[in-house]
Amino acid sequence: MGIDLTGRTAFVSGSTQGIGLAIAQRLAEAGARVAVNGRTADRVAEGIDSLIGAGIPRDRLIDAPGDVTTDEGLAVALDATGDVDVLVNNLGIFGAASALEITDEEWQRYWDVNVMASVRLIRAVLPRMKEAGWGRILNIASDSAIVTPAEMIHYGVSKTALLAVSRGFAKDAAGTGVTVNSVIAGPTYTEGVQDFVYQLVDSALPWEEAEAEFMRLHRPQSLIQRLIRPEEIANMVVYLSSPLASATTGGALRVDGGYTDAILP
* List 110, 155, 189, 259, catalytic entry: 155
**Euclidean distance between CA atoms 260 and 265, whole angstroms:** 9
E strand residue ranges, 50-167: 61-63, 86-89, 135-142
**Euclidean distance between CA atoms 102 and 98, whole angstroms:** 7
3-state helix, strand, coil in the chain (%, to 5): 50, 15, 35
Q: Name every residue whose Cβ is closer than 8 Å to that of residue 64 and which is 6 or more positions away in sequence.
A: 11, 35, 36, 37, 44, 77, 78, 80, 81
The number of angstroms, rounded, from the C-alpha of 14 to the middle of its chain's C-alpha atoms is: 8
Q: Residue 198 catalytic?
A: no
CB burial of 36-51 (b: ≥16 within 10 Å; e: otherwise) equals: bbbbeeebbebbbebb
Q: Are 253 and 139 spatial neighbours (Cβ–Cβ below 8 Å)?
A: no
Q: Are 240 and 139 spatial neighbours (Cβ–Cβ below 8 Å)?
A: no
**Euclidean distance between CA atoms 178 and 247, whole angstroms:** 10
**Euclidean distance between CA atoms 110 and 106, whole angstroms:** 6
Catalytic residues, which ones?
155
